[in-house]
Amino acid sequence: MSGSESDSGWYDETLYPDVAQRLRMGRVLHRDRTGLQDLVIFENPVLGRVMALDGVIQTTEGDEFVYHEMLTHVPILAHGRVRRVLIVGGGDGGMLRRCLEHKAVERVTMVEIDRSVVDLSMAHLPAISAGAFDDPRSDLVIADGCAFVRETTERFDVIIVDSTDPHGPGAVLFTEDFYADCKARLTPGGVLVTQNGVPFLQPGELKDSHRRLGRRFGDAGFFVAPVPSYYGGFMAFGWATDDAALRRQTAEAIRPRFAAAGLVTRYYTPDIHVASFALPAFMLDALK
């Protein structure tokens, strides 16, 4: 396990070998081994309810909006004509909720490998999904996401990979074979976006994903956002499509789509959308 509960009432996350973060633990709402992962849900005075899997912080009520808004609104509004979305992972339901906020979206298929993550999130973190699992446009599939993408005949305008880090069950979702299967499931001009770690502390993941995505898509890159509970600075999100124009649109082009969608956001704006593709120099250097 990568994390532990200290005697002083703190949750120690040690995802990285040389640096760590600590969250004060209030009431522990749930703790068990799900069969696939070690899961704990607890309360923190600043972040609200927190869920960790295998010792790594996955989501918090306090800052989930940054992560979920950026991984949904950026590809959906950049594309401009999204009707069908596939989410791989995302058991807390936050990604599903944000996708369904787009009224033009007709169907969102969510494939989660661990049913208990969904059930426990609905029981203890209901504010994150906010009823999304009850929306008639949602389709929850409990299955291995890698196998689902490989075997399904459905096509999607946007695929969102809301995975854990590339260890344990999440490792296969960072492979070139998986990215190739995703491309085969996209409609022409479709977009794949992925969770890609914190590049300041995980530069290897950034390089590996860039190389693998670049072999399969005409336009592969990243956009970024600061998610406070993901320690280490900017969070990177992978971006891949064959339509290079989609990530080079102006805020003026995105703004009417945002207004038409009627979204109420706490982090995302059309200007943030455009700015998120401007990468800091240390990331650009790593990608050379």
Decide whether 3-60 matches 64-287 in CATH topology.
no
Place of tokens 């490989």: 150
Tokens of 119: 């059930």
Rounded-to-integer distance, Cα 23 and Cα 12, Å: 7
Q: How does pLDDT run across 5-62, given as a tens digit for each residue? A: 544 699 999 888 899 999 999 999 999 876 666 889 999 999 999 999 888 899 999 9
Residue 92 assigned as binding residue: yes
Tokens of 128: 């994150």
Residues of the chain with pLDDT under 50: 1-2, 6-7
Question: What is the model's pLDDT at position 167?
Answer: 58
Residue 181 assigned as binding residue: no
Question: What is the model's pLDDT at position 284?
Answer: 96
Catalytic residue selected from 63, 114, 157, 162: 162
Rounded-to-integer distance, Cα 153 and Cα 170, Å: 23
Q: How does pLDDT run across 75-98, given as a tens digit for each residue? A: 999 999 999 999 999 999 999 999
Residue 202 assigned as binding residue: no
CATH architecture of 64-287: 3-Layer(aba) Sandwich (3.40)
Q: Quick check: 165 and 14 in contact, CB under 8 A?
A: no
Domain limits, the chain: 3-60, 64-287
Q: Quick check: 96 and 138 in contact, CB under 8 A?
A: yes
| Measured CA distances, 153 to 95, 147, 181, 213, 253 (Å) | 23, 12, 11, 22, 33
Residue 199 assigned as binding residue: no
Tokens of 64: 């989930």
CATH of domain 3-60: 2.30.140.10
Tokens of 254: 């995105």
Strand order in the sheet with 48-53: 28-33, 38-44, 48-53, 56-60
Tokens of 77: 């509004």
Rounded-to-integer distance, Cα 261 and Cα 59, Å: 26
Indicate if 114 belongs to the active site.
no
